[in-house]
Amino acid sequence: MLKRLKPLILCAISAVALAVASPAGAAEVLADGTSLTRVNGAVELSIALSAPTPFRTFTLDSPRRLVVDLGETSLEAMPRGLSSAIPEVSALRFGLFQLGQSRIVLDLAVPMVIESAVATKDARIHIRLVSASAADFAVAAIAPPAALWRPEQLASSVEGAEGLPLIALDAGHGGIDNGAQRDGVSEKDITLQMARMLRDVLLEDGHYRVILTRDRDIYIPLGERVEIARRAGARAFVSLHADVVTLGRARGTTVFSLSEAGESQQAVTIATLENRSDLVAGISVEGEDDQLTQVLLQMAHRQTDALSNRFADTMAEALWVYNDKEIKSRRMAAGFRVLRAPDIPSVLIELGFMSDKSDLENLQDPEWQLSMAENLLHGLNLWMKVEKDMRGLLRN
């Protein structure tokens, strides 16, 4: 009988355990003994580990997911394609969720609840899921306390000489959220390479300070990316992406600003893809993150929107001039959650599209990456001048 199933928090991850877990001492998932099987209508997930590690598991609704959190654990040996023969599980993904915490997420094709979740002495975790009605699933699906997310764990730091304008560079996706994938290449790796490259170019130029929202392969919620930039006092926010487009053909660089309406179907499709990041990572977006976003939106001043639009125009113009003549930059707008800082001019740049063969080659080419970073520097230099004039006009 299923009554008010509370999320199963079987082994509380203490603050200490999270803070001290390091990759060096981390447990590893072992391929041998890790499996996903169907047993008499139930689905069983077994995870074999090299050493015992704290874990907890819970389910989330809309869409239906099972989340397994582990103390920082290497997931490199996790077998691929575990879910392919299990119709109840439509996808399985995993990765570093935040410092000291790894996460495995199963997308459930049908409502299933956790019947049992146990760790054995030989460092194995067994989770048994049984089918349930949609109503019972909804009752059982409760997000864990938000306190688990601790911003102070983030390693973001400002680089560059004091007094210079601070640019926040946001490498899209990361950790459990791979972003787009094509031919074995993950968007999260390209965006991180580009963010680091652009950071180096900006620091070498000597006119900027830089903060990265992430400097490693880690998942960071969209709202938190904005907060990192705000806490640091960023003057501009640049989110870097390289997606796969299934609607129409997209090629070359596209610069986006925030628009609640969305200009074109393709812009709306791309925004929807980017906004999925929190869902992919197993965060309940109907929760406080959305409330935070609402508050931020209410606070939002028209001035920032005007500045963001002009910022995006300026970047697109600069890229139009400096980019490869064959591939012109485009300018679009849509409802990106990561562009909702109320007080920082923000743009999202799709550097290229992994769905385009030549873009995909470029995106992986260090020489192309460097020239793109230099073009973005030209754009930022231009924007600093334009912004100064614009703020002067807005003040008068």
Q: Is 243 a binder of Zn ion (CB under 5 A)?
A: yes
SS3 state of residue 257: strand
The span of 11-19, 22-30, 127-135, 175-183 binding Zn ion (CB under 5 A) equals 175-183
Q: Is 69 a binder of Zn ion (CB under 5 A)?
A: no
**Do residues 259 and 250 lie in contact, with contact meaning Cβ atoms separated by under 8 Å?**
no
SS3 state of residue 17: helix
Q: Is 241 a binder of Zn ion (CB under 5 A)?
A: yes
Residue nearest to Zn ion (CB): 241
Instruction: Give Cα 263 to chain centroid, integer Å.
Output: 24
The span of 113-121, 139-147, 164-172, 381-389 binding Zn ion (CB under 5 A) equals 164-172
List the one residue from 172, 335, 345, 352 that touches Zn ion (CB under 5 A). Answer: 172
CB of 302 to Zn ion, least distance (A): 27
CB of 214 to Zn ion, least distance (A): 13
Q: Is 179 a binder of Zn ion (CB under 5 A)?
A: yes
SS3 state of residue 334: strand
Distances (CA, A) of 354 to 184, 187, 188, 362: 11, 8, 12, 9
Q: Is 182 a binder of Zn ion (CB under 5 A)?
A: no
CB of 12 to Zn ion, least distance (A): 34
Instruction: Give the position of tokens 């992919």.
Output: 280
Q: Count of residues binding Zn ion (CB under 5 A)?
A: 4
Distances (CA, A) of 5 to 44, 58, 67, 354: 18, 10, 15, 42
Nearer to Zn ion, 137 or 336 (CB): 336
CB of 285 to Zn ion, least distance (A): 16
Q: Is 224 a binder of Zn ion (CB under 5 A)?
A: no
**Do residues 30 and 79 lie in contact, with contact meaning Cβ atoms separated by under 8 Å?**
no
Residues 165 and 377: their CA atoms lie apart, in Å, by 13
The span of 178-186, 284-292, 340-348, 367-375 binding Zn ion (CB under 5 A) equals 178-186
249: its two tokens:
């053909």
- Residue numbers 5-44 binding Zn ion by CB under 5 A: none
Residues 332 and 350: their CA atoms lie apart, in Å, by 10
Q: Is 64 a binder of Zn ion (CB under 5 A)?
A: no
Per CB under 5 A, residues contacting Zn ion are 172, 179, 241, 243
